[in-house]
Amino acid sequence: MPKVVQGYVRWVDAVNRRVGRCAMYLVFVMMAILFYSTISKQFTLPALWTLDMAQFVMVAYYLLGGGYSMQLGGHVRMDLLYGGWSDRRKAWFDAFTVLLLIFYLGVLLYGGVSSSVYALETGERSFSAWRPYMAPIKVIATFGIFMMLLQAVAEFFRDIARLRGEELA
């Protein structure tokens, strides 16, 4: 494979790994927020911001973690047929079907960008009692989808390389 492609795959892997490993710890943030809300409402009025904030963290958690979990092979496949195939045949099928995955992520990204731009321009707020601005989480979500897209393209290159008898690190 060309040097550029190799470099690209290595770069995307490294970035997503780092992003994902940071996202991994957001579980603790969710726990802390919800635990704070449990305790605080025993003494004072329930805090308005906790639920909204926990939701935002959840979205960041799985969208930022998507690419890393793809590296880990976490995304389940239906392996009724797939499981019995040779590596070469798997790569053949994947090389085609991953294009559909890329298409889906592309549409997701398009929607994310347009929704983020809208939120930034109009100062969109959530309908909840706390009324937080929506732009930050939408931008984070869009970034997560973008990184997922880059990872999916890297997987595509990996399949092509495998078909040419190479293995990309």
**Looking only at Cα atoms, what is the longest distance across the chain?**
65
If residue 128 lies in a helix (H) or strand (E), which one and from where to where? none
* Shortest distance in whole angstroms from residue 25 CB to another protein: 7
Nearer to another protein, 2 or 121 (CB): 121
Report, in Å, the least distance between residue 155 CB and another protein.
Answer: 9
Using CA atoms, how far apart are residues 86 and 162, in angstroms rounded to an integer? 12
List of residues contacting another protein (CB under 8 A): 20, 23-25, 27, 30-31, 33-35, 37-38, 51, 54-56, 58-59, 61-63, 65-66, 68-70, 72-83, 85, 90, 93-94, 96-98, 100-101, 103-105, 107-108, 110-112, 114-115, 137-138, 141, 145, 152
Residue recorded with tokens 């979990």: 69
Vertex 18 angle, CA 14 and 24, to 5°: 140
- Least gap, CB of 139 to another protein (angstroms): 12
For another protein, give the closer residue by CB, 2 or 83. Answer: 83
| Rounded-to-integer distance, Cα 45 and Cα 111, Å | 38
